[in-house]
Amino acid sequence: MAEVAAAAAGSTAGAAMRVQSISQSGQSRVPPQYVQPVQTRPGNRAPGFDNIPSVDLSEFNPASRDR
């Protein structure tokens, strides 16, 4: 990780280190400047959709419906 930090510090004109160069460096950890705090990370649940009912379609047969 020291190599990644050194490369980022030595970049010209304050340019951010590219993700590709981090990947190619073979590091097994993500540099801390790329890790979001837990409270600001996106979740895997959409807000406001907790009360959507489920519909059981296990016995649905489209051939037997009225036309």
- pLDDT tens digits, residue range 17-51? 788 888 888 888 888 888 889 888 887 666 677 78
Output b/e per residue, 31-66; b: 16+ Cβ within 10 A: eeeeeeeeeeeeeeeeeeeeeeeeeeeeeeeeeeee
- Are the C-beta atoms of residues 17 and 11 closer than 8 Å to each other? yes
How sure is the predictor about 16, in pLDDT bands with cuts at 50, 70 and 90? low
pLDDT score of 49? 72
pLDDT at 11 over 50: no
**pTM: predicted TM-score of the whole model, two decimal places:** 0.34
Q: How far apart are CA 58 and CA 14, in angstroms?
A: 58
pLDDT score of 56? 92
